[in-house]
Amino acid sequence: MKRAILAGLLLVSYAGYAKGPTPGDSLSRKTVTVYTTAASTKLRLSATDKLSFSPAKQPLETEVCIFVDPAKSFQTMTGIGGALTDASAEVFAKLPKDKQAELLKAYFDPVNGIGYTLARTNIHSCDFSSDSYTYIEEGDSTLKTFNVKHDMTYRIPFIKAAIAAAGGKLTLFASPWSPPAFMKDNGSMLHGGKLLPRYYQAWANYFVKFIRTYESLGIPVWGFSVQNEPMAKQIWESCNFTAEEERDFIKHYLGPTLQRAGLSTKKLIAWDHNRDQIYQRASTILEDAAAAKYVWGIGYHWYETWTGSTMEFDNVRKVKEAFPDKNLIFTEGCVEAFKLDKVNDWALGERYGNSLLNDFNSGTVAWTDWNVLLDDKGGPNHVGNFCFAPVHADSKTGELIYTNSYYYLGHFSKFIRPGAKRIVASSNRTDLQTTAFVNKDGKIAVIVLNTSDKELTYKLWIKGNGTDVKSLPHSIETLVIN
Please tell me the predicted confidence (pLDDT) of residue 26. 81
User: 431-445 b/e with 16+ CB inside 10 Å = b?
Assistant: bbbbbbbbbeeebbb
What's the residue count for the chain? 482
Active site residue 304: no
CB 393 within 8 A of CB 399: yes
Q: Spell out the domains of the chain, with CATH numbers in brackets.
A: 31-75+423-481 (2.60.40.1180), 79-418 (3.20.20.80)
CB 365 within 8 A of CB 327: yes
Please tell me the predicted confidence (pLDDT) of residue 10. 29
Judged by phi (left if over 0) then psi (alpha if -120 to 50, else beta), residue 19 lies in: alpha
Nearest CA to 421 among 59, 77, 17?
A: 77
CA distances from 165 to 81, 100, 116, 156, 406 (A): 13, 11, 10, 14, 17
Angle between helical axes of 347-361 and 404-413 (0-180°, round to 10): 20
Written as tens digits, the pLDDT of the chain (482 aa) is: 333 333 333 222 223 323 333 444 588 899 999 999 999 999 999 999 999 999 999 999 999 999 999 999 999 999 999 999 999 999 999 999 999 999 999 999 999 999 999 999 999 999 999 999 999 999 999 999 999 999 999 999 999 999 999 999 999 999 999 999 999 999 999 999 999 999 999 999 999 999 999 999 999 999 999 999 999 999 999 999 999 999 999 999 999 999 999 999 999 999 999 999 999 999 999 999 999 999 999 999 999 999 999 999 999 999 999 999 999 999 999 999 999 999 999 999 999 999 999 999 999 999 999 999 999 999 999 999 999 999 999 999 999 999 999 999 999 999 999 999 999 999 999 999 999 999 999 999 999 999 999 999 999 999 999 999 999 999 999 999 99
Instruction: Determine whether 398 is exposed, middle or buried from the number of CB atoms within 10 Å of its CB (0-12, 13-18, 19+).
Output: middle
Q: 90, 237, 312, 332: which one is catalytic?
A: 332
Please tell me the predicted confidence (pLDDT) of residue 28. 81
Dist CA 91 CA 282 (whole Å):
36
Q: Is the pTM of this model over 0.85?
A: yes
CB 130 within 8 A of CB 382: yes
Dist CA 468 CA 460 (whole Å):
6
CA distances from 417 to 45, 105, 110, 151, 470 (A): 16, 17, 9, 30, 25
CA distances from 310 to 56, 316, 346, 353 (A): 38, 13, 18, 15
Angle between helical axes of 155-165 and 97-108 (0-180°, round to 10): 50
Please tell me the predicted confidence (pLDDT) of residue 25. 53
Please tell me the predicted confidence (pLDDT) of residue 2. 35
CA distances from 477 to 35, 48, 61, 391, 415 (A): 5, 9, 23, 21, 11
Active site residue 336: no
